[in-house]
Structure 1
Amino acid sequence: MQNSLSAILDVSIAPSGVATITFSHLPTNAMPIVLLEDLANAIEKLAEDSKVQIIILQSGGERTFCSGADFNQLLAIDNLEDGKIFFSGFAKVINACRKSSKIIIGRVQGKAVGGGVGLAAATDYCFATQAASIKLSELSIGIIPAVIEPAVSRKIGLSSFSKMSLRPTEFYSAQWAFEQGLFSDVFDTIEQMDEAILKLAELLASYNPEALKELKKVLWQGTDHWDTLLYERAEVSGKLVLSEFTKLALRKI
């Protein structure tokens, strides 16, 4: 059982113009609503900071990047409004990444499940290690990956998203995720990955900031409707989490 009070968010900005956001909620970096809100706010704030050129999004620990929604909070939801508010947290983070004027680099050091896959998909260029297997587990607990679907499908395609969604107990390897387009580079060790991330981040930070801003717009073209779509999807998930199937499934975990 995880306490949301243990959720931590840290932001640092290097002289090079590379900002690093680190979220942590050990042992598995599950996302309570407060952490989702803080993460979205941090991304939005860095987008307005003229000292920042590139953002690195990472989590604490070595074994798990993010295990998705905090199951304790899911179990506590007892009305549609609270359900929509919770899943809107993921919508806010994805939209913050999408609308940020800064290029966002993802660092996935370990497993990503559910919403964790959505976070990885919301970055512009995502690094990972061989330990970074991925899974969309939502259907197994009676909900669906509704909010994150647009971001994930944008990277891996609807066919691969369908495969993952319909096999919710199966992990897919980092190599598979690389081949589908979720991960841009995969490394054997965290050390190798971090070296490559720093090299790319500092190189990008040296480029014309106006060019990077315009490229960001190009990369996310055709997604303006997500401002409405993701919150509609949050309501769908908020309704499903109230089902008796989901409550029973969560109690068994």
Structure 2
Amino acid sequence: MSELEVTQDGGVLTVLFNRPEARNAMTFAMYEGLEEACARADDDASVRVLVLRGAGGRAFVAGTDIAQFLDFTSGEDGIAYEARIERVVNRLEDVTVPTVAAVEGSCVGGGLALAAACDLRVATASSRFGVPIARTLGNCLSMNSYSLLVHHLGPGRTLDMLLRARLLSADDAHAAGFVGEVVPDGELDPALAALLETLLAHAPLSMKAAGQAVARLRRAALPDGDDIVREVFGSADFRAGVRAFVDRGQVSWTGR
């Protein structure tokens, strides 16, 4: 079984994040596989919709695999990492067919960015959304990822979620307009099937135009944020946070 499985059923191309034992935390190879799937969705005329979902029922994607941060030694590593994530997120946002995040369980960190880059989101009632890095790793996001969150949630709700490191419930995310539909646990598949039937029946060029226009509006005049990323990823706090997370220990933040 691959950590990222790509399958096609009729006009629907599905990407399955398949590391349920790690709550589908993303490796760099999985990010690369997702980029390849995006290219396939654009290049294959038989693909009409792209769906992302997680295996195991406990998580959509629980962020990036934290073990990959152990080798980071400076803020420049953080800048390179966030540039990599930005490339993948923007590639997903630029897919020319409708994209759907089918969320079941935790959708946090990088997983939230991937869901936010999709055109539509449907979630089960027990799903949770957030970026709790202020109490876990002590890192930060790229300007592109902050822009995605503000675009969907607004500045007030984004800051409340980030500073308090709290997770939004599915109902909270629905009230904010982030999730389009919340369904009872165990009923994601029929709800997704109904949504896909609707999308497959609609005009492809109209949907393509809407997705491209919203993406361009979101990314217009996006400011540089490398100085923010460099400071945080280069900090002693970040290194301590990663080590504590991997070792399941506690960290005392110093602000340095």
Matched, 1:43 2:38: yes
Alignment of 1:1-253 (within 5 A): 8-15=3-10, 17-27=11-21, 28-140=23-135, 141-146=137-142, 147-168=144-165, 170-190=166-186, 192-225=187-220, 232-233=224-225, 236-237=228-229, 239-253=231-245
- The one-character-per-residue Cα deviations of 1:172-195 (angstroms, maximum 9, x if unpaired) are 2111111111111111123x2211
* 1:93–1:212 Cα change, 3 Å: same
- The one-character-per-residue Cα deviations of 1:113-169 (angstroms, maximum 9, x if unpaired) are 21211111111110001111122112222222334211121111111111011111x
* 1:236–1:29 Cα change, 3 Å: farther
Equivalent pair of 1:43/1:97 in contact (CA under 8 Å): yes
Counterparts of 2:153 and 2:48 in 1: how far apart (Å)? 27
SS at match of 2:167: coil
TM-score, normalization by structure 1: 0.87
Counterparts of 2:121 and 2:103 in 1: how far apart (Å)? 7
Counterparts of 1:163 and 1:40 in 2: how far apart (Å)? 31
- The Cα RMSD (Å) is 2.1
Identity %: 24
User: Which segment drifts farther, 63-72 or 200-209?
Assistant: 200-209
Cα deviation for residue 252 of structure 1 reads 1.5
AA at the equivalent of 2:20: L
AA at the equivalent of 2:78: G
Equivalent pair of 2:72/2:78 in contact (CA under 8 Å): yes
Counterparts of 1:26 and 1:89 in 2: how far apart (Å)? 23
Cα deviation for residue 25 of structure 1 reads 2.5
**Aligned residue-pair number:** 242
AA at the equivalent of 1:219: V
The unaligned stretches of length 5 or more in structure 1 are: 1-5
* 1:23–1:233 Cα change, 3 Å: farther
* 1:236–1:77 Cα change, 3 Å: same
1:3 paired residue number: none
AA at the equivalent of 1:144: C
The unaligned stretches of length 5 or more in structure 2 are: 246-256
Equivalent pair of 1:156/1:181 in contact (CA under 8 Å): yes
SS at match of 1:195: helix
* 1:52–1:164 Cα change, 3 Å: same
User: Which segment drifts farther, 212-221 or 94-103?
Assistant: 212-221
